[in-house]
């Protein structure tokens, strides 16, 4: 969409409407002019002059003595007020972005020629608004040690912010506006991947509670860019880090030096008046500004992973030993007896558990060849990481901004800004790096462009208008491996869809050793916005009213999930059938078979998924608002407002969507099938197969739905009510303020698009499986455990999956995700009550009670999942179904066609209540600081995309009677819980101070000349943080009856179970097997957890803990119980007289949603800097920034179910030194 399509209607709106909605970077300067008797001075002349540009605006006070200067850009100004018979009042005012400056001149009786006393009238207290937030001005942006020069990093100076989340609100509830242009992205709810450079930013402000009706989102970040001045000013900078200079190591950096680090950030900016010799002189009228910033970063980090030993790669699996010291036996699938399913253990040259190396599959041979060798070969990879090394992370970015400002007359001013940028990133996102640099990697490309323009019109001294027009375009691509390479073809694996990308290869039997692919995905989005704002002064009322229009193009490439392949070695190919289990539900003998051996032989399950391509979504927003800032008395201001919003339902340009009608049990199409075929959204073979299974297709008209398949509301009203009251006089004065509002925000598109793209017929998974009963030759599961392999990976596997095999689409593989009829917009109620006081000059203390309630968050009512095995056996006393219908027979809603059926509904909610305490000193006498403490509880259900508490399970997932039948009550019981991403306790601080060195200072008081230039002018600055954490109690073991005991750092331990002793602490009394407590092997070497106290009693344990000898209920005679140690195995008698072995899980663990205090984490960054004057107007600034200045390694919050805090890894990044030179003129 072209920018002209936005500008044209904007001009029409300005001519035909006087309404407004500003989220640009301007603000107001206002106040009341009074005499010494506190009487209003009517018709006083007030002027405001920008000290940098020389531009002066004038106004007069109204009948109540009130004046206002609208649409003022952030800068330093000189304000004067005068009236006949009074002395002139003059003050310096620093105006901050979207922060109203209230200056109340008091005129003294006298002659206008009397000497004028100039004062600093910049407000310290907020006396006219209930809003909470923070402003960071240009000087602090330059001085604070910001790690990464990213705007989002600055949010750590705002109380209540955790990333872009305010007081526990859902990700995506924020809007970041750059001169009025939206830079938040609506697909994932995050931010633009290449934000504007810090040299571009003049100031930024965050409002995250109690905002006026001007603001549409619960949290708004308003960013103001720089503009030119009457003088030509500019700067050049270079910032550098490397691993040879001040870079420390983390604990996991087992080598002699830290990983490679080469980071360069560089750029420049310049601005001034537009001067065309002999043609145009733009001083005091027309200004320009340009900035460029680039980044080159190579910053690998050390991580640990599990990799096969050298012996395993060569077929020797004698090292397959579990944590109890039990060997896992590997059986030869090629010796399978077709009648008894018996097998022989593998053996080579008389050595059991060893496979002839010549029998390795082509795929296994290649994958082992690209897997790095262990760096700690003594570690058992079944129990711990045996490879540590650098994981790549490389990035190249740039951004540039060009801005022009022009003042047509005293009544009209205009600016236009254009910003563009790009980012190109390669990183190892999953798994350890392989030698071919493909599995687990991601390439990210994301260019962006932004255009914003503003026209401010002063219609009269009491009426003005501001128009903002903006457009923002960003594209994004993410994929694994070199773009365009068809790795599946190279590996000899199925690629029926003929797509590029690395296939996902899973289930090796070693926890984090696999060959991952990130789903190819991306988007191309455009946000076009028109905001028009008007302000009318009427007596004591500042009336603001506005209009907002937004048009979004959201072209989203949903996850192309595993169309390259999703293949698994979990086939049972080297396991041994347990003849004591049913032949219709055969199970393996415990401790037999291993997926790594399956990988060696090349026996896999194969799957490729057809996924539709782009969604071409369109969205609009309309809003009207009215705000009355009523100055009831000089002490009391009331803030009353109302905002109405209407966001029509998303629509798809071609309406290539599908949903589900649960009453008709039919798939509802947004357009006809021929259109879907033509656009490549599906293929006839998928539709034909679904129809043969019994699926029905109907039109949206037949289903009684709108064309968009969803509905929206026109009743989003957001009232605002607040007050600010200044009490007391002099040193006893303080401000009490508070407010309440309702605001709305759109749920990010991803939870919707990720499920919608999975709907039939837009998605279909084609499979070949030796474990799924619907695909095995005899309709019985675990065929791979009972048969001789016929397909070998990389040898004859290319055609294992074909689109021509209709049977590859099975019953139960059809997903139906649909919208509830009512789709309200996500809503937030928030409130605060704040007391603030200037406790000393330039220092303010604030105490606030803060709360919010979020509602209408996304959730999925998932009501057709199969009944879990244990619950099925207990409730039916029947074996598991087999054959064609085995995948649907245990589902409660549909037993014919459909698998997962879920309703997308807005039933989630969140709550936050807390207190915040803040002390802030404005820079004065060489010192400034901010420190705040926020304590609060964030709880909620939903709002987690399509996982976690966003899923409402059906009652069949639990034993009867355990959960309520009522879905609301069930949702609250299962999902309402603490949000542990939001710390209960958070302390942050930042400061800047002049060092007492140099002429006139404590050290070097009499220094002059060269000495003063060396030791004088040094400053320090810093940022610090301290936070609390929680960890989740385990739900894979069960309470023993012993109370939970929190040890913290009381008991240091060494965990030697893996073959290497790892340091840590016994944080709480989790489960450690009794035979691994302070244990040693036959040679006297530690092989357990060393340092466990004598009084340790586990609060949790498996149902069959290690050392158990007593027979379990219903356990068949002759069972070797040792094989089931440390499991939750149970035996259930069935109605046919057989005993079924399974794992206990009633669905409702007693420790669900339970958390305990975890590790407190802290860190401090510091900066040392000095500005060196070269000439009167040229200065060189030197910075040394120390990130994690004390090199505090910290501990990760990695507390396991065994109660152990593992301290092998650092919890913080290691110290880094960054050096910067900046030349300014």
In 752-821, beta strands by DSSP E? 763-768, 814-819
Express each pLDDT in 353-382 by its tens digit.
999 999 999 999 999 999 999 999 999 999
Q: State the number of CA atoms in the 13 A half-sphere of 484 facing the CB.
A: 0
Does the pLDDT at position 1090 exceed 80? yes
The string of DSSP codes covering 707-768 is TTS----S-EEEEEEEEEEEESSGGG-EEEEEEEEEEEEPPPSHHHHHHHTTSTTTEEEEEE
Confidence of residue 879 (pLDDT cuts 50, 70, 90): very high
Largest CA distance in the chain: 116
Q: What is the mean pLDDT of residues 690-711?
A: 93
d(CA 604, CA 770): 8
The single residue listed with the structure tokens 């790549």 is 392
Q: Is 821 exposed, middle or buried (0-12, 13-18, 19+ CB in 10 A)?
A: exposed
The pLDDT score that the predictor gives to residue 116 is 53
Query: In this structure, is the dihedral angle defined by the CA atoms of residues 791, 793, 798 and 800, taken in order, positive or negative?
Result: positive
Does the pLDDT at position 32 exceed 90? no
What are the distances in angstroms from CA 53 to CA 629, 879, 893? 30, 84, 71
Contact 941, 978 (CB under 8 A): no
Residue 833 included in any domain: yes
What are the distances in angstroms from CA 631 to CA 44, 723, 995, 1135? 19, 10, 44, 80
What are the distances in angstroms from CA 906 to CA 188, 825, 858, 942? 18, 8, 5, 9
Q: Is 692 helix (H, G, I), strand (E, B) or coil?
A: helix
**Percent of the chain at pLDDT exceeding 90:** 78
The pLDDT score that the predictor gives to residue 63 is 82
Among residues 184, 864, 796, which one has the least CA distance to residue 550? 184
Confidence of residue 24 (pLDDT cuts 50, 70, 90): low
The pLDDT score that the predictor gives to residue 227 is 92
Among residues 834, 1109, 1165, 911, which one has the least CA distance to residue 145? 1165
Q: Is 312 helix (H, G, I), strand (E, B) or coil?
A: helix
Among residues 858, 854, 834, 857, which one has the least CA distance to residue 846? 834
Contacts of 917 (CB under 8 A, 6+ apart): 846, 847, 932, 933
For the chain, state the CA radius of gyration. 34
Contact 1159, 1029 (CB under 8 A): yes
Average pLDDT of the chain, as a whole number: 92
Residue 154 included in any domain: no
Express each pLDDT in 196-240 by its tens digit.
999 999 888 999 999 999 999 999 999 989 999 999 999 999 999
For residue 354, what is the DSSP state? B
Residue 62: both structure tokens together: 């109204």
Q: Is 138 helix (H, G, I), strand (E, B) or coil?
A: helix
Q: Please count the other Cβ atoms lying within 10 Å of the Cβ belonging to residue 905.
A: 23
d(CA 824, CA 744): 10
Domain count, the chain: 1
Confidence of residue 1006 (pLDDT cuts 50, 70, 90): confident
Q: What is the mean pLDDT of residues 265-269?
A: 96
Query: In this structure, is the dihedral angle defined by the CA atoms of residues 333, 334, 336 and 338, taken in order, positive or negative?
Result: positive
d(CA 625, CA 229): 34
Q: Is 157 helix (H, G, I), strand (E, B) or coil?
A: helix
Express each pLDDT in 491-539 by its tens digit.
999 999 999 999 999 999 999 999 999 989 999 999 999 999 999 999 9
Residue 267: both structure tokens together: 């750029």
Residue 966 included in any domain: yes
Backbone φ, ψ for residue 596 (5° rounding):
-65, -35
The pLDDT score that the predictor gives to residue 774 is 92
- Of 60-74, 685-699, 1162-1176, 1179-1193, give the lowest mean pLDDT range: 60-74
What are the distances in angstroms from CA 991 to CA 871, 929, 933? 59, 4, 15
Confidence of residue 2 (pLDDT cuts 50, 70, 90): very low
CA 679 to chain centre: 33
d(CA 580, CA 599): 27
Query: In this structure, is the dihedral angle defined by the CA atoms of residues 1110, 1113, 1117 and 1118, taken in order, positive or negative?
Result: negative
Q: Please count the other Cβ atoms lying within 10 Å of the Cβ belonging to residue 300.
A: 19
b (16+ CB within 10 A) / e for 84-123: eebbbbbbebbbbbbbbbbbbbebeeeeeeeeeeeeebbb
Residue 1014 included in any domain: no
Q: Is 1067 helix (H, G, I), strand (E, B) or coil?
A: coil
- Of 634-638, 886-890, 1009-1013, give the lowest mean pLDDT range: 1009-1013
d(CA 784, CA 598): 10
Residue 844 included in any domain: yes
d(CA 1166, CA 246): 13
CA 1151 to chain centre: 27
Among residues 404, 412, 401, 408, which one has the least CA distance to residue 453? 404
Does the pLDDT at position 140 exceed 90? no
d(CA 333, CA 70): 81
Contact 1067, 1205 (CB under 8 A): yes
Query: pTM here?
Result: 0.90
b (16+ CB within 10 A) / e for 307-321: bbbeebbbbbbebbe
For residue 996, whether the previous peptide bond is cis, meaning omega lies within 30 degrees of 0, is: no
Express each pLDDT in 103-125 by its tens digit.
888 888 876 544 455 666 677 88
Residue 323: both structure tokens together: 């944590």
b (16+ CB within 10 A) / e for 688-723: ebbeebebebeebeebebeebbbebeeebebebbbb
d(CA 919, CA 838): 10
Among residues 666, 646, 658, which one has the least CA distance to residue 710? 658
For residue 1206, what is the DSSP state? E
Express each pLDDT in 292-344 by its tens digit.
999 999 999 999 999 999 999 999 999 999 999 999 999 999 999 999 999 99
Query: In this structure, is the dihedral angle defined by the CA atoms of residues 1200, 1204, 1207 and 1211, taken in order, positive or negative?
Result: positive
Residue 673 included in any domain: no
Residue 943: both structure tokens together: 């709002």
Residue 275: both structure tokens together: 């001067």
Residue 1010: both structure tokens together: 């060269």
Residue 566 included in any domain: no
d(CA 205, CA 191): 16
Does the pLDDT at position 9 exceed 80? no
b (16+ CB within 10 A) / e for 648-672: ebbbbebbbbbbbbeeebbbbbbbe
Q: Is 605 helix (H, G, I), strand (E, B) or coil?
A: strand
* Residue range(s) defining the domain that contains residue 854: 812-984
Contact 266, 238 (CB under 8 A): yes
Q: Give the residue with greater pLDDT, 1 vs 911.
A: 911
Helices (H) and strands (E) in the chain, counts: 12, 69
Residue 310 included in any domain: no
The pLDDT score that the predictor gives to residue 17 is 32
Q: How many residues does the chain have?
A: 1225
d(CA 1194, CA 1213): 9
């Amino acid at each position: 969409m072209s920018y002209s399509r936005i500008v044209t209607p904007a001009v029409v709106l300005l001519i035909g409407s006087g309404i407004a909605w500003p989220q640009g970077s301007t603000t107001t300067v206002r106040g009341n002019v009074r005499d010494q008797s506190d009487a209003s001075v009517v018709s006083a002349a007030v002027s405001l002059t920008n000290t940098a540009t020389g531009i002066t605006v004038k106004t007069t006070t109204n009948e109540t003595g009130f004046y206002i200067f609208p649409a003022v850009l952030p800068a330093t100004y000189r304000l004067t007020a005068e009236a006949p018979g009074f002395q002139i009042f003059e003050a310096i005012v620093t105006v901050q972005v979207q922060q109203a400056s209230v200056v109340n001149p008091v005129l003294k009786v006298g002659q206008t020629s009397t000497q004028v006393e100039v004062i600093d009238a910049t407000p310290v207290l907020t006396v006219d608004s209930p809003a909470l937030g923070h402003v960071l001005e240009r000087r602090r942006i330059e001085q604070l040690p910001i790690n990464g020069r990213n705007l989002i990093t600055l949010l750590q100076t705002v109380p209540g912010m955790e990333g872009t989340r305010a007081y526990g609100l859902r990700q995506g509830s924020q809007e970041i506006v750059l001169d009025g242009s939206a830079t938040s992205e609506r697909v994932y709810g995050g931010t633009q991947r290449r934000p504007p450079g810090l040299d571009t930013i003049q100031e930024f402000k965050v409002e995250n509670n109690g905002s006026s009706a001007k603001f549409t989102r619960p949290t708004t970040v308003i960013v103001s860019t720089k503009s030119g001045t009457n003088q030509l000013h500019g700067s050049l900078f270079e910032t550098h880090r490397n691993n040879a200079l001040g870079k420390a190591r983390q604990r996991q950096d087992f080598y002699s030096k830290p990983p490679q680090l080469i980071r360069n950030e560089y750029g420049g900016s310049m601005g001034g008046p537009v001067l065309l010799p002999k043609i145009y002189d733009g001083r005091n009228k027309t200004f320009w500004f340009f900035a460029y910033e680039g980044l080159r970063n190579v910053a690998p980090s050390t991580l640990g992973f599990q990799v096969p030993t050298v012996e395993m790669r060569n077929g020797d699996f004698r090292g397959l030993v579990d944590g109890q010291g039990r060997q896992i036996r590997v059986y030869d699938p090629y010796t399978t007896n077709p009648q008894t399913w018996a097998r022989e253990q593998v053996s080579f040259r008389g050595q059991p558990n060893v496979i002839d190396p010549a029998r390795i599959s082509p795929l296994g041979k290649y994958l082992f060849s690209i897997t790095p060798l262990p760096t700690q070969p003594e570690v058992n990879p079944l129990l711990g990481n045996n490879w540590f090394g650098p994981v790549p992370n490389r990035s190249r970015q740039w951004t540039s901004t060009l801005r022009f400002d022009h003042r047509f007359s005293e009544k009209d001013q205009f600016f236009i800004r254009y910003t563009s940028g790009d980012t190109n990133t390669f990183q190892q996102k999953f798994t350890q790096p392989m030698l071919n640099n493909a599995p687990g990697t991601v390439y990210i490309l994301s260019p962006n462009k932004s255009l914003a323009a503003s026209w401010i019109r002063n219609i009269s001294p009491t009426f003005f208008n501001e128009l903002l027009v903006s457009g923002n375009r960003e594209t994004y691509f993410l994929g694994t491996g070199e773009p365009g390479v068809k790795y599946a073809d190279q590996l000899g694996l199925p690629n029926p869809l003929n797509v590029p990308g690395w296939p996902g290869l899973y289930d090796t039997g070693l926890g984090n050793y696999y060959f991952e692919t990130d789903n190819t995905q991306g988007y191309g989005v455009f946000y076009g916005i028109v905001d028009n704002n008007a302000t009318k002064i009427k007596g004591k009322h500042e009336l603001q009213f506005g209009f907002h229009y937004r048009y979004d193009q959201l072209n989203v490439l949903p996850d192309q999930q595993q169309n390259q392949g999703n293949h698994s070695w979990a086939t049972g190919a080297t396991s041994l059938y347990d003849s004591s289990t049913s032949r219709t539900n055969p199970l393996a003998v415990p401790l037999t078979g291993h997926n790594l051996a399956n990988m060696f032989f090349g026996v896999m399950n194969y799957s490729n998924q057809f996924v539709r391509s782009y969604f071409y979504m369109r969205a609009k927003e309309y809003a009207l608002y009215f705000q009355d800032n009523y100055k009831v008395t000089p002490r009391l201001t009331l803030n009353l407002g109302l905002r109405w919003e209407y966001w029509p339902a998303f629509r798809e340009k071609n309406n290539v969507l599908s949903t589900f009608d649960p009453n008709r049990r039919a798939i509802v199409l947004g357009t006809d099938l021929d259109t879907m075929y033509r656009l490549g959204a599906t293929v006839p073979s998928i539709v034909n197969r679904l129809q043969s299974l019994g699926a029905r297709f109907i039109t949206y008209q037949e289903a009684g739905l709108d064309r968009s398949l969803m509905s929206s509301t026109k009743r989003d009203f957001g009232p605002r009510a607040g007050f600010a009251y200044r009490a007391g006089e002099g040193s006893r004065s303080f401000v009490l303020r508070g407010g309440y509002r309702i605001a709305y925000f759109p749920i990010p598109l991803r939870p919707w698009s990720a499920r919608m793209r999975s709907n039939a017929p837009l998605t279909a998974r084609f499979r070949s499986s030796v474990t799924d009963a619907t695909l095995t030759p005899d309709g019985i599961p675990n065929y791979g455990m009972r048969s001789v392999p016929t397909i070998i990976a990389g040898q004859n596997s290319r055609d294992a999956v074909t689109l021509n095999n209709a049977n590859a689409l099975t019953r139960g593989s059809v997903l139906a995700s649909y919208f509830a009829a009512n789709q309200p917009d996500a809503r937030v109620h928030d409130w605060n009550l704040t007391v603030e006081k200037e406790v000393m000059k330039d220092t303010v203390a604030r105490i606030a009670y803060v709360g919010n309630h979020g509602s209408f968050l996304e959730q999925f009512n998932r009501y057709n999942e199969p009944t879990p095995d244990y619950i099925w056996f207990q409730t039916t006393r029947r074996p598991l179904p087999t054959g064609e219908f085995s995948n649907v027979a245990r589902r409660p809603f549909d037993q014919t066609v459909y698998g997962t059926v879920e309703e997308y509904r807005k039933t989630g909610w969140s709550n936050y209540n807390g207190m915040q305490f803040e002390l802030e000193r404005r820079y004065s006498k060489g010192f400034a600081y901010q420190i705040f403490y926020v304590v609060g509880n964030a709880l909620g259900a939903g709002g987690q995309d399509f996982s976690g508490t966003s899923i409402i399970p059906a009652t069949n997932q639990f034993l009867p009677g355990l959960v309520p039948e009522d879905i609301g009550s069930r949702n609250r019981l299962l999902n309402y819980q603490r949000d542990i991403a939001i710390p209960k306790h958070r302390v942050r601080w930042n400061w800047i101070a002049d060092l007492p060195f140099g002429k006139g200072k404590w050290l070097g008081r009499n220094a002059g000349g060269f000495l003063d230039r060396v030791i004088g002018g040094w400053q320090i600055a810093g940022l610090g943080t301290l936070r609390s954490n929680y960890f989740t109690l385990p739900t894979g073991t069960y309470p023993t009856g012993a109370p939970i005991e929190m040890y913290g750092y009381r008991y240091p331990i060494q965990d030697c179970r893996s073959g290497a002793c790892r340091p840590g602490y016994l944080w709480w009394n989790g489960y450690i097997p009794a035979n691994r407590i302070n244990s040693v092997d036959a040679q006297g070497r530690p092989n357990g957890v060393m340092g466990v106290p004598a009084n340790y009693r586990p609060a949790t344990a498996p149902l069959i803990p290690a050392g158990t000898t007593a027979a379990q209920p219903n356990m068949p005679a002759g069972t070797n119980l040792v094989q089931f140690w440390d499991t939750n195995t149970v035996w259930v008698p069935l109605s046919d007289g057989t005993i079924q072995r399974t794992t206990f899980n009633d669905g409702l663990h007693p420790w669900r949603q339970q958390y305990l205090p975890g590790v407190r984490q802290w860190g401090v960054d510091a900066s040392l800097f000095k500005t060196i004057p070269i000439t009167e107007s040229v200065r060189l600034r030197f910075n040394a920034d120390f990130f994690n200045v004390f090199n505090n390694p910290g501990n990760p919050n990695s507390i396991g179910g065994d109660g152990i805090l593992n301290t092998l890894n650092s919890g913080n990044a290691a110290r880094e030194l960054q050096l910067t030179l900046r030349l300014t003129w």
